[in-house]
Structure 1
Amino acid sequence: MRLFVSDGAPGNLPVLAAACRAGARDKLLISTVGPEECVVPFLTRPKLPALKLDSGHYLFSSSAICRYFFLLSGWEQDDLTNQWLEWETTELQMNL
């Protein structure tokens, strides 16, 4: 797996925390790219963070990436975790 992040992007923090929680850091190549670099080939504008899976598919929502890492770890998401992920997507990301 390859995780693309940009310095200072607010979506990096929950994604990196979820990767650590899942124990995925040893299987993860982290690449820092410029904020205007388009790493997902089928998107017309940059979207970071983005996770390229070993299958070649991409996840480019920080909430989706976090949930993927949670699934890898077998960690059950509780309501509070889901509320925070939803807030991050709907409130924090929309107001940046």
Structure 2
Amino acid sequence: MTFSNSEQLLRMSVMASFPARPERIYTYKSGKLKGQTKRIKARPESKGIIGVSDKTIWLWVKQGKFPKPIRLSDGVTVWRMSDVQAWMQAKAEAQGA
């Protein structure tokens, strides 16, 4: 698979909205670290360009309602910006009709 140098790619973190999450303490329940704890940092709210959660986007992909992602060789999942923009345009036209 080849990409033009001008093709922009989007990660889920840019597209999906994530709610704020307070800092919390996680206690390992099994394995070598059982009983030990680690602090998970707080996460601020973020608003993605699609405006729905990552779970909703994955559901839409599974249902064929959203463009399929591209899996890069380093395990990163991305979408072509042109595919996402075309999807957004089609949604806007469908609502206007």
Please give the range of the TM-score, normalised by the shorter of the 2 chains.
under 0.3
TM-score, normalised by the number of residues in structure 1: 0.24
| Greater Cα radius of gyration, structure 1 or 2 | 2
More helix per residue: 1 or 2? 1
TM-score, normalised by the number of residues in structure 2: 0.24
